Amino acid sequence: MATTNDLKNGMVLVIDNQLWQVVEFQHVKPGKGPAFVRTKLKNVMSGKSVDRTLNAGVKVETATVDRRDMQYLYNDGTDYVFMDLDTYDQISISPEVVGDAKNFLLENQNAIVATHEGNVLFIELPTSVVLEITYTEPGLQGDRSSAGTKPATLETGYEIQVPLFLNEKTKVKVDTRTGDYLGRATD
């Protein structure tokens, strides 16, 4: 159990027998009336986000979430296989749980796998990853401005929009939260 004063981003709460991750929170002290906490919560299983207001100082139940560093090994055709870097145990994770992270996963890449009572809840990737462009239309001479973009397919098969001057075999930095192009990768 914790109080609303102990809330942190990323903390997982148990509300109505469901697991909710705190996305953001704000303590509000109005001029009149008691203080309260405005939160944005994301359902761990469904991914649905809701705004919820809690009275300040109220006790909330926290879930014990085990976050482990794991390495993505391969996709066995249906599930994604990860290996615990401490115990070398391998676990299979369904595509529903992996979600959009599959667009940025390369073999032997590290990720944080969060579990609760033996069930995998979600996968946390670094905020940005470096991926190689495997296909894009060739850029035209003189396309050096950032005015236009074109589609490019990454080595994971995911398609993003990149500036016109980028070509195949170029390594780019991609935001794993939004899927946006962040810039060329510097080696």
The domains located in the chain, with CATH, are: 2-62 (2.30.30.30), 66-124 (2.40.50.140), 128-184 (2.40.50.140)
**Alpha-carbon gap, residue 177 to 156, rounded angstroms:** 16
Q: Give the percent of the chain with pLDDT over 90.
A: 50
Q: What is the pLDDT of residue 146?
A: 52
Give the residue among 101, 99, 118 at the shortest CA–CA distance from 109: 101
Which tokens in the block code for residue 163? 């500036």
Q: Is 138 helix (H, G, I), strand (E, B) or coil?
A: coil
Q: What is the pLDDT of residue 97?
A: 87
**172 forms bridges with which residues in the sheet?**
131, 184
pLDDT in tens, 22-54: 989 999 999 988 999 999 999 888 878 999 999
Q: What is the pLDDT of residue 104?
A: 93
Model confidence at 81, pLDDT cuts 50, 70, 90, reads very high
Is the pLDDT assigned to residue 145 strictly greater than 80? no
Instruction: Tell me what the mean pLDDT of segment 123-151 comes to.
Output: 80
Output the pTM of the full model. Answer: 0.75
Residue 182 to residue 174: CA distance in whole angstroms: 5
- For range 84-89, the mean pLDDT: 92
Average pLDDT, the chain: 89
